[in-house]
Structure 1
């Protein structure tokens, strides 16, 4: 999990220059974490065929979205925004998996 203690609380930042610099550092860390998440999805595309799993597993999609929404609420992040962002990301990642393993339907 991200260690927010190494960041200055927004209320303690005095200038827009400093605020923007911290936002840029946060964006860098978020992208790094998303890239690491994507590497996990790529590994899932390698593992799923051997376990007889399709790229899209609706129950898993819903579970992830529900979990993200709950975690966002706990963290003080807009839960609807988090759910929407993750839904879009999940669709892109499923498409990435399907490019490797197929859709599981006759093509």
Structure 2
């Protein structure tokens, strides 16, 4: 974990903005893989994959603990992200069916 000393609220905000930029880049990269995953699935139930969702949540909670992040926060963020990506993947699946 990178520790940066902040002398002011502006310093804190600058660092949060830097982190947000990197998070968005990584979420965009993840989004591209979600689109690729749709190419290998045939049904909406394959997209929803509740067992896989729970595997990811379990993994993320463990990673959060290792990084000193409240696992409930990580789970909440990931559940929202997974829900959004499932919708994206369903849309992509529909596009592929219509081709």
Name the residue aligned to 1:105.
none
Using CA pairs below 8 Å that are at least 6 residues apart, which structure has the higher relative contact order?
A: 2
Name the residue aligned to 2:77.
85
Q: Distance in 1 between matches of 2:12 and 2:57?
A: 30
Instruction: Report the alpha carbon displacement of residue 101 of structure 1 after superposing the two structures with TM.
Output: 2.1
Residues 79-105 of structure 1: per-residue CA shift (max 9 Å, x gap)? 001101101111111111112225xxx
Q: Distance in 2 between matches of 1:84 and 1:34?
A: 16
Task: Work out which of the residue numbers 20, 31, 34 in structure 1 matches 2:24.
Answer: 31
Name the residue aligned to 1:69.
61
- How well do the aligned residues superpose, as a CA RMSD in angstroms? 1.7
* Structure with the higher helix share, 1 or 2: 2
Corresponding residue pairs, total: 92
Instruction: Report the alpha carbon displacement of residue 38 of structure 1 after superposing the two structures with TM.
Output: 0.8
Give 1:1-107 correspondences, 5 Å limit: 5=2, 9-10=3-4, 12-49=5-42, 54-101=46-93
TM-score by length of 1: 0.77
Q: Mark the runs of 5 or more structure 1 residues left unpaired by the alignment.
A: 103-107
